[in-house]
Structure 1
Amino acid sequence: MYFEFLNNSGFKRIIDFKNQTSDFGLYCTAGELQFYDGITIPTTAFVANQYVHLVVTRDSASEDVNLYVDGALLGTFVDSTQLGVLDVSNVMNFFQDDLVFGGEARPGNIALLKIYNTAIDGATVTANFNDLEKTSAAIAFTPDITSSCLNGNVFNFTNNSTTTSTVTYNWTFGDGGVATTNNATYNYATSGNFTVTLTADDGAGCIDSVSASVTLFDNPVVNLGADTTFCDGFVLTLNAGDGFSSYLWQDGSTDSTFAVSTGGQYSVLVSDDNNCTAVDEIDIVVAALPVVELGSDTTLCFGSSLPLSGPAGMGSYLWSTGETTELILVNASETYFLTVVDFGGCTNTDSIVVDILPELIISLGTDTTFCAGDSLVLDPGASFQSYVWNDGSTNSTFTVTTSGTYSVSVLTDIGCAATDTINVQVDAIPVVSLGQDTTLCFGSTYQLVAPAGLPNYLWSTGEVTDTITVTSSGIYAVIASTLAGCSATDTVDIIINPELLISLGNDSAYCEGTPVILNPGAGFTSYIWGDGSTDSTFSVTASGIYSVVVTDAFGCSATDTVAIQIDLIPVVDLGVDTTLCFGSTYQLTAPAGYPGYLWTTGEVTETIVVNTTGIYDVVVTTPAGCTAVDTVQVTINPELIISLGPDVTVCSAATTVLDPGTGFASYVWSDGSFDPTLTVIVSGDYSVLVTDIFGCTATDTVSVIVNQSPVVSLGADTTFCGGTTIDFDAGAGFVSYLWSDGSSAQTLSVTAGGIYGVTVTGANGCTGTDEVIAIATPLISLGADFAICDGQTASLDAGAGFTSYLWSDGALSQTINVTLAGTYTVTVSDASGCINSDDVVITVTPPPFLELGPNQTICAGTAVVLDAGAGNFNYLWNDGSTNQLYLASTSGIYSVTITDISSGCEATDNVSVTVNPAPLVLLGPDATVCFGTTVTLDGGAGFTAYLWNDGTSAQTLDVTAAGLYTVTVTDAAGCTGTDDVEISYYPQIPTPSVSQVGNTLQSSSPTGNQWYAVPGGIIAGATGDTYSPPQNGVFYVVVTDSNGCSSAPSPDFNFINTSIGTVANAFVSVAPNPANNFITLETSGIADTKVAVEMIDILGKTVFATTVNANSRKQIAVSTYPAGIYLLKTTAKGFSKVNRVVISR
C-alpha cells in the first residue's frame, strides 16, 4: 500500500486489521509509528504529509507477519490468531476507526493498494517500491471544489502530475463515469460521496494512481403545503420544516415558521448545512368573517322581552341558550352569546348584555280620609321621567281636594311604567243646624237634633247623643265631629211661654137641625176641631163630644171639650138598585120601630112586595116628628130563552156539537158536564140549563140520532221493492170510493213508496177513511241539498245495512268524502235484491273576504282601528272580543276569525301593530327666577321637530317673561311628546340710590347691600346700609334680596371726605365719548400740580397709566384698544374721579 498520512499527532489509526472480536494494526502515537504486538517503528520512518510505502505479509505456514516500510523490513512477529488473514470474518480498514473498540482515525490518501494471495518476499517488496518511485511518485490532481449541491456546480479536476515518461491518464469518478483527458470536468447526476481516481499508465507496466473524494449533497426539500383558504382572524403558521441551517421568507424574516394573517403569496428559501438551497411558494386567501352584531347592551322593563337576531344566510347558529335559530326571544337578565358559522366554515361571535329591571312599584299610600277644605298632596316619587294622573295632568305631584279614586302612571327614563291607585275620602264638614231660635209653649219639650251618623257629639248640657230634649228656656249649643276629626257647631235660643187657657162652655142638648155654634174665642192663629176643621167657630149638627185645639202666634196650643146631645133623624136605607129575573117578586123594607111609614105605592107598612119595574121610595117619621126618606130602583128582566136547535140525524164518524149560545155565567148539561158546548157521539135526548149574570136561568132539549159510519181497512203498513207494483183494496159493499190520488175504484195499484188513503161512503150516506204507508225498499236518503265551505270536506253516508253501494263517482263504499260542488248520486241494493237511489246537490261556498291590511306602526297614546270587514259575519278576535272593529293601542300581533253566519265559512287574518313610545321631553320643574334673567328652555336633542307654544321651532327657547311654556317634540317615527314648565319672575328690585351723610355713604335700602369701589370692585365686608370709605373715590351699591336676586347697580357716587381735603372746583372732562382713535382729557380747579391717569378695562385690568399736568388738556391715543367700556380714573391730592369711556370701532 502506498499512502500519505496527513497528520501524525495524537493517537491515529492508519490501517486496521480486525475481525468480529479483536483487531490489530498500524497506528501512530506521540510521534512513533507502532504496530500491533509491540513492533515499534522509528519515528523517522514515518513522515506526515508524505507518501509511505507499506507492505504487510503473513506466511500462513510459519505464521510470521513482516512489516515493510518504504521497501525495508522493519519488524516481524508471529500471528497465531488468524487476525491478519483477510477472509469473511476479517475486515481491513484504512484510516478508519475501529467500530467496536473505539479510538480515533485521521484521513489520508492511498495512492496504490495491492493485495496478494501469497506472501511476497523482501526482494519483491523492494522492487515494487523502486518501481513506484520511478514512475508514480508525482501523480496528483486537484479538484476545484470538494463538495457541491446536486444539480449545482460542475466539478473541475486539474491534473498536477509530473512524470519522467509519457503516460496515459484515466479518470474514474466513482459513479461509473470515466474520462481520458488530462484535466477533467464532470457533472454528477446523483448525490453521494464519490472517489475520483487519476491513474497514470506508462504502457510499460508501471501504473500509479491517486484518489480524492468529492461529495454531492442532495438539495433540501421544502414544502409549505397546498394553496389554502382560512378565515379572517385566524393565524396560519407556515412551517418550512426543521433541520435547515437558514431560512429566508419573502419579507426577509429568517425563522423556520411564518405567521400568516392576511391573504397573498408567501415564499421561503431554505439552506441546509451544506449550503444547498430550496424554494417553495404558497397562495393564501383570507375569507372575511361573518358579521355578527347583536347591538348594544340593552336594559328592558320588567315583563318585557327582546328579539335577538343573527345575520341572515348563515350555515349554522348557536346561542348561549342552546337555540339554533336565526332569531330568538329573550326575557331574562343575562349575557347572550351568538356564534355563527357561514357556509365557508368561518365563524364569529357577538354578545349582548340584557338587563331586565325589577318590577317598578310605586305607592300613593293607603286609602285615607281628610276634612273638606284641607288638601292632600299625592306623591309617587320624584325620580321618574313622566307622570300621567287620572285627570290627564302630568305634574310629579297631585293635590287632592275632593273625594274620589286617584291614580297615576309613571314612566322612567327608559320607558318602564308603573301605576298605583288610592281612594281618598274627603269628609264634609258636618252641617250642624239646630234651626232658628224657637219659642215653645208651656209644658212643651223640644228636641234638638244634630246631623245623624256622626261618631261624636257634645252638647252644652254635657250630653253626647245626636239628639237631646229640652224643657226649659235657654241657649243650647252642640259640637258634632266626624271620624276624621272634622267638626262644626251651632247654637239655638229656646223660650218656654206661659200656659194658654180656653173654654167651649158647659155640656148642652139640642134637636137635630137646630143651629149650635161652639166658639173658643178670637185672637188665635189656628183652630183645629175634632173633625179636623180649622174655622174659629164650629157648627154642631149631631150629638157628640166636641173639642178644639187653638194655637197662638207662638205656636202654643190649648184645648177644651164639650158634650152636645142632638135628636137624630131616622136612617132609611132601601138598599142598592136591584135587577130581578122574569116572574120574580122583591120585598122592600124600611127601618123598624118607627111610628109612621109612607111608600110611593101608598102603602103605610114597614114592608112592601113589588113585581114590576119602577122607582120606589119611603118616608119614615120618628116619634118626635123627624122624618127621613130613601129611594130604590127595581128592574124586572125580560124572559130568558135559549135553543139547541131542531132534532138531528148524524153519522158516527162526524162530530156533532150542541151549542146553547155564549155569554152565560154557567152551563149544566143533562150528562152533568158544565162546558159551554157538548159533543154528541151516541143517539139520545140532550138538555142544558144556562144561568146569566143576574142568576136567571133557561133550559132546552134536543133529540140526536147517530147513524154508524162504514169501516174501511187497507191493512197494515207494508214494505215492497221499489219499482214493483202493490195493490190496496178498500173492500166491497160501499156506495162510493175516493183514493188520495183522486181515483174512485175499489182497489188502487202503486209502484212507489208513500202514504195512500181512501174514503168510502155507505148506504146511509156516512163515510169511513183509512190510510196505509207503503215503503219502497231499500230506503235511502242522502239528506237535503247543502253547502260546504271551500277547503272543507263533506262526508256523504248512504246508510248501513245494504249489500252494495255505487256512487256516481264510481266509489263502492257506504260513505264518500267530497270537497267539490256537484250532484252526487248513490244506488244501493239490499239483501232482498231491492235497489234504490238518491242524490244530493252540494254547493261549495268560498270563504268570506278578510284583509286586515299591512303591519302598522303607531305612536304611544294613539290607536289604530282594525276592520274585519262588514257583512253577515260573526267576529272573534284573539282576545275574545266579537266586534267588527278592534281598537289596537299596544304592540302585538292581532288576529281575527270571521264566520259567515249564512254559510258557516271562516277566514282568518292577522296584522302586527308596533307602538313606538312617545318621545320623552322634560323641560324641568317650574322655576322662579330673578327679574331680567333669561331662561333657556331645552326640548332635548335627537328629535326631528320642535314646536313651542309661541310658534317657534328651535330646540331651545329663550324666555324673558313669566308664563307657561309648552313644547311638543316629534321623533323620527313621527311620535310626539309634550311637556310644559311655568316660569315666574321675582319682582324687580328697585335700583338703590346712594347719598352721603357726613363722611359716610348711605344706601336707600336698609338690607341686602353690597358696596363696590370704582375701580376695585367688590368691597369685602361692606354689606351694611352704610359705608365709610377710607379714601375719596367713586362707589356704588347693589342690593340682593332673600331670593338671591340683585338690583341694578346704583348710580356711581363720587365720595369726597372733607377731612382728606378736596378741591371744591375740581373738574375733569373726557371727549369725545364714545371715542374712536383718541380722547382729550381736560382737568381744571385741581390744587395739585400733577394728576395721575389710569385707564381700566371691564375686567379690572389697567391698560394705560400716566401722569399729566393738572389743570391742562391732554390727548390720549386709544386706537389700539379693543372696543368696549373702560374706566378713566384721575387722582390728585384731595381729589379722585372716575369717568366711563366707551371706545367704538
Structure 2
Amino acid sequence: MNVSGTAPVCFVCPILTNASPNINTCEDSQGQFLSVQTDVSEIDIEFRLFNSQVGNPYSGGTPLGSAVTPSGSPLTATSTVGISGLAPGTYYAYAILDTDDPDLTDSNCRPFEEILIVIDSKPSIDIPNQEICDSTTSVNLTVLEPDGQTGGVWSNGDGDLGDATAADPTTGPFTYTYTDANGCVGSDEVTYTILQELEAEAGEDQTICSGATVSLSGNPSPGMWSTAGDGTFDDASSATAVYTPGANDISGGTVVLTWTTEDPSGPCVGDSDTMTVTINEELVAEAGDDQTICSGATVSLTGSPSPGMWSTAGDGTFDNASSATAVYTPGANDISGGTVVLTWTTEDPSGPCVGDSDTMTVTINEELVAEAGDDQTICSGGMVSLTGNPSPGMWSTAGDGTFDNASSATAVYTPGANDISGGTVVLTWTTEDPTGPCVGDSDTMTVIINEELVAEAGEDQTICSGGMVSLTGNPSPGMWSTAGDGTFDNASSATAVYTPGANDISGGTVVLTWTTENPSGPCVGDSDTMTVTINEELVAEAGDDQTICSGGMVSLTGNPSPGMWSTAGDGTFD
C-alpha cells in the first residue's frame, strides 16, 4: 500500500513498495525476515508488528528489530530480526519510515507498507506414555494415534519403523510425527514402561496335625485367601492369615488354599497360586477303661493306637511293654497302695503330629483270704468255739453237728453223733462275695473228737466177811482206790483183788473207785465207784444135841433165821 503525504518544498517523501509477501507459516517455522523497497536511501526504515490491522502504524505496535538504512539496488530495507515467538493467530507487520531519522523533515510524510502474517498452530500431538506387562512382546503403535491425526510416521532411535503395528516395546521410546493440512508438523514421544507382571505365591505346601491351624504367607499383597474346603480364615484379606480347617477338610485329609492378588493399577492383572494343606489325623491315645482287679490277679490291657509303649507309676511288670495288649502284674507296692496308674504312650508318627498318652487306673482290691482258724481237738460231748475271718461269712459242716449261728464268725459248733463216732469233722468258713472282682474264699478246719473216757468200776458186789473182791476196772490204765481200810494186791491193775479191812467188814460196806489216767488231748480221766457189801459170815446154830424117847418129837431152835432144816434120816419136819 502506498500512501503519500504532501512534501515540503524541496523535500521528496519516500515511496515504500514491494514489501515482503504475506507470510503464512507454522508456529514452529517462524524466523522469516521482512523487507520493503524504497526510492530514498537517506531515511531509515523500521518494521512494526500489530495484533490487528491498523490505519496508522506509526503509533503503537511492537518494533521488529531496529531501524534499517536501505541499501542495494533496488534500495531495500530488511528487518534486523525475523518474526519469532508468535502464538498461532493473525498479525500485521508494517514497514514505516523511522520518525527519529533527522532527514525526515516532513511530518506529513508517513508512507507504510502492510504485510499479513498468519501463524498456524502446529498439530498438538498428545499420546500418553504407556504401561505394559513384561509378558507383552509386541505393541500396535497405530492404535495410539489421536483421532483426526492418524497416518503419521512412527520412528525410534533407529529411524522410521516399517510396521508400527507390531513394534518391539523394548526398542522405544517411539516418536510419532504428524503433518497437518497446513504442513505444520507435530510430534510426541511415547515411552513404554514395562511392568513386572504379578506372580502370586501362596507359599509351600504344609502338613499339619488335625486340630492345628495353618499360618499362611501370601505374596505379593494385597490379595485375598480362599479355600476349596469348609475351614475359616481369621482375616482372609491378610497375607499372613491363619486358617482353621473345617470338619470336611479334616475328614478329607487335604484342603487347597488359594492366594489371589488384587488387580493392580495398569495393564497387568492379578494372579493366583495354590498351596495344599495335608491334614494328618492327630493321634489320640486310649489306655482303655479303668479296671478293678483282685490282689494276686493280672491286668489285661488294650492300648490304642499301636505302636506304643506301656509304663507304670508303680512297681509292677509288663509281659511286653511294647505290646498294646500287654499283661501287667502288679507289684507289692501297687497292691499295698490299692491303686496303680498305667500309661499308654503312642510312638511319634512321621509328620508334624506327635505321640499322645493316656492313663488308666487299676484299683486293686485286697483278695479275701478266709481263715477258719486252727484245727481243734475236743472231747466227745464238748463243743467247738469257732473264729472265722474275715466277716461276714457262713459256717458249714461236713458232718451232722449243728451251729448255734452259722452266719456268726464266732459260732459254736456242737458235734453230731456221726461226728463223734467218726472221730473227726471238717468245718468250713466261707466269706461272702465282696463287691468288685474279688470272690469269696473258704477255709476249713478239722475238729478231732477224742472219745471221752467213761470209767467203769464194775457192778457192786456183796461178799462174805473174810472174802475178797475180784475187781474189773475199765478202761485201763487206771488206779484203784478205797474209801475203807482194805488193800489191793495191785492197785494199778484193772483186775486187782481187794481184801476188805476190819473197818470195812465191821462197817458192812466199802466204796472202791477206779480212776482212769488222763489221756493226751483235751479229755480228762474219769472215775467210777462200786460198792462192796460185806455180809457177816453166818454161823448156824442147830442148838444143843437132844435125847428123846422114840415116839417123841424134837423141838428145834435153829439160829440164825431164816434157814432150812434137813435130816439125815427119814423123819419129817413139821
**TM-score > 0.5, shorter chain as reference:** no
Q: In proportion to residue count, which structure has more strand?
A: 1
TM score, norm. by length of structure 1: 0.18
Q: Which has the larger radius of gyration?
A: 2
Which structure's residues are more often helix, by fraction? 2
**Highest RCO, 1 vs 2 (Cα 8 Å, sep ≥ 6):** 2
